[in-house]
Amino acid sequence: MRSSRRLAAALAVAVVAWAGSGCAVIPVGGPFPVDEAGGGDPMSKPFQRMIAVPPQPAWAPLQVVQGLQAAMAAYADEPDVLSTYLTPAAAKTWRPDGPVTVIANRPKYDYVGKSDGDQVVIRLVGTPIARIEADDTYMPYTGVGDISIDFTLVKDAQGGYHVQSVERGAGLLLTMDDVARAYRPTKLYFLAGPPGPSRLFAERRLVVDRVWLRVKPTENFAQTIVRRLLEGPSKALHGAVGSVFPQGMSVRSVRSDDDRVVVDLHGPIAPDELYTDGLKAQLKWTLNNNDMANGRTVEVQLDGEPFYSSDPFVIRADDMREDWLGSNVSPAYYVSKGAVRSLGDERAGNAVQGPAGQPNELYSRLAMSDGGAMVAARGTPAAGGGIWVTRVAPDGRWQRWIQGRQEDLTPPSWHRDGTLWTYDRANGTVLRCDPASGRGPERVAAPGLDGLDVTRLRVSRDGVRVAVTVGKNEVRVGAITGGGGAPMLGNFQTLTRVTDEEIRDIAWRDGERLLVLVQSKNAQSVREIYVGDGQSTELPATNKRLESISALGQRLLAATEGRKEILEFNQDKQGWVSKVDGGDAANPIFSLG
C-alpha cells in the first residue's frame, strides 16, 4: 500500500485506495472532484479511473494476487501493468479476452497447502454475480454457490513474487465495485425484423438491446454509444433485428453545443426515404434514452459534410414518434365463468361480443390478439383439447386451430403479425398457426429447446423475443429469427433460475421487461427482470395467493386462488388493490404479451 500512497501524494488529488491492492482510484483528467469527472460535458459520464502500479519486491504473495486483480480492473486503460504481475512464461500465454467474470466485493483469500517459500498457492473464493461477454452483454450468474480460483506464485531472483498460473485460465476478474466504476448500462435501438440489404423496415418498430459499455477516457460516452450501435446487435438478437448502418461504417466524432448534437459518420451509404427514417429512429432514440441528446436536435454528417443532401440533415424532437416503440395502451380484460369481460379503471365492464363473451366451461387460459379482434384458448378435455380461436364479433364461432391434449399444449400466445404460437410437449416442438396462409399449424425449429421440459411459451409484444419456462424452476429467453416466411427460435439464454421455489407464471410488460411469478413454500413474489441484462426488482407482495399475472406497460393484473378475484398493482402506493371480487374472476388479459 505504500506505493499507492506515494502515487496519490505525487498526483496531489483525492485518492481512494483499495486495501492491499497496490492500486489507486483517481478522478480522470486532473485534480477535480469525482462527481465532475467528464469535464461538465453532458455527453460524458462521470467515472473513476483505476491507476495500477507494478508489484513491489517486498510485497507478500497475498498482496501480489490482490494487485493482480486491481490491474485487471485497470487493464482496459493501462494494459501494460498487468503483465508485470506474471512470470515471463505466463505473460506469453495469458490472454485477457473471453468473458469478464464479475464477483461480489471483498472476496476471501487464503493460502492453500504447504509452501516451500519459492512457490505459493493462494485461493480466491468469491460469490459470482455475472459475466460481461465480448459483445458487451451482461449475463447474470444463475448457478448456485461460490467459485474458487487458485493462483500459483513463484519467487524470482530478486525475491519478489509473480503469478505463474491462474486456475481458471484467461479472462479478467472484476468486482462489482470495478464494474460500477467503469461500466454503464446502455440501451441500443435496432429495427424489428431480420437483417438484410433489401429490408425496407416497413413496420417502423424499434427493439431495445441492453448492453453494458465501458467508459473510455479517450472519448465522450456519446461517441462510445454510437460506435457500439454501428457494430450491430448483441448475440441475443442476432438474426432477429436489423440496422440501417451498413458494415464498414464508423463514427468520426460526436460533439455538442447548447442546441444540437453533431454525429459525424464515415463509410458507405446509399440513403433513401425509408433508410433515413430508420436512421433517425435508431440514432435519436439511442442518444435520447441514454441521456446523451436530452431533447436537442441531432445533426448527422458524413465525413464532416452534410449527410444525404446539400442541406444539413437534422433529427428533431418530433421525429421521435412513439409508434416506433409500440403502444403501452390497451384495454384490460378478465374471465368470469369462462366469458371474457372488459375491466375498466374503476370497475368491471361488459362481456365482449360473440362466443368469447358467453359463459362456458370448455376453454381455459385465454389470450387476445393485437387490437383485440381474436381470442384464443386452450381446450379442456370436454372440448376435446387443442387450441381454439374465435373472432370477437356477434357472428364469431369457436374453431380448433391446433390439435392436441390440454396437458400437452402450453397456453396460446399471439404474435403481433396475427400468428398464434404454442409448444407441443408431447412431440417436443414449437407450433405456429398462420390464418392468412390457410394451412394448418407448422412446426418451428427451436434447437435450443430440444430435450427440455417446456411448460410455457410467451411471445413478446415487439414480436422479436420469446420467453419459455423450463420445468418449474427456470426461465429462458430467445428470439425469433429467419423472418416471417421461415421463422425459427434461437439465441436462448437462461434469464433466471430458482431453487426451493416454483415459477407459477410469466408475463411481458413490453419488449424488454418480463414479470415472473415465483412461489416458495410460504410466500410469493413477482419479479420484474430486464431480459437484456437480468437486472431484477422484486415487487411488494400481497397476502393473497396469486394464480396468474398479465401486464402491459405500467399496469399489472393478477388473479388469485381460492376466492377468485382480480388484483391490480398500484404503482403510486406500491401495493395491490382489488379490482374484481366476484368470487369467480380469473385469467386477467391484455392484448399480446
Per-residue pLDDT of 372-421, as tens digits, reads 999 999 999 999 999 999 999 999 999 999 999 999 999 999 999 999 99
46 in a structural domain: no
Residue 7 pLDDT greater than 60, yes or no? no
374 in a structural domain: no
Cα 491 from Cα 212, distance rounded (Å): 19
The residue behind cell 441531432 is 298
Q: Which domain holds residue 299?
A: 187-324
471 in a structural domain: no
480 in a structural domain: no
Q: Which of 143-147, 340-344, 428-432 has the highest mean pLDDT?
A: 428-432
Residue 197 pLDDT greater than 60, yes or no? no
pLDDT in tens, 41-67: 556 666 677 778 899 999 999 999 999
pTM, to two decimals: 0.88
Lowest mean pLDDT among 24-28, 46-50, 82-86: 24-28
224 in a structural domain: yes
- Residue (of 380, 381, 410) closest to 470 by Cα position: 410
**What pairs with residue 363 in β-bridges?**
379
Sheet holding 23-27, edge to edge: 16-18, 23-27, 48-52
Confidence of residue 356 (pLDDT cuts 50, 70, 90): very high
The pair phi, psi for residue 365, each rounded to 5°, is: 50, 65
pLDDT in tens, 280-325: 889 999 999 998 988 789 999 999 998 877 778 888 877 766 677 8
Lowest mean pLDDT among 135-139, 150-154, 164-168: 164-168
570 in a structural domain: no
231 in a structural domain: yes
Q: Under a CB-based contact definition with an 8 Å cutoff, are residues 219 and 542 in contact?
A: no
Q: What's the start-to-end Cα distance of the chain, in Å?
A: 54
**What pairs with residue 449 in β-bridges?**
none
Q: Which residues contact 266 (CB under 8 A, 6 or more apart)?
A: 249, 250, 251, 252, 302, 303
> From the CB of residue 291, how many other CB atoms can be counted at a distance below 10 Å?
12
Count of the separate structural domains present in the chain: 1
pLDDT in tens, 550-570: 999 999 999 999 888 999 999
The pLDDT of residue 46: 65
SS3 397: coil
272 in a structural domain: yes
In DSSP notation, 156-177 reads -TTS-EEEEEETT-SS-EEEHH
Q: What is the mean pLDDT of residues 151-175?
A: 88
The pLDDT of residue 15: 30
Cα 357 from Cα 453, distance rounded (Å): 33
Q: Which of 70-84, 146-160, 352-366, 477-491 has the highest mean pLDDT?
A: 352-366
Q: Under a CB-based contact definition with an 8 Å cutoff, are residues 487 and 481 in contact?
A: yes
Confidence of residue 98 (pLDDT cuts 50, 70, 90): confident
Q: Return the CA Rg of the chain.
A: 28
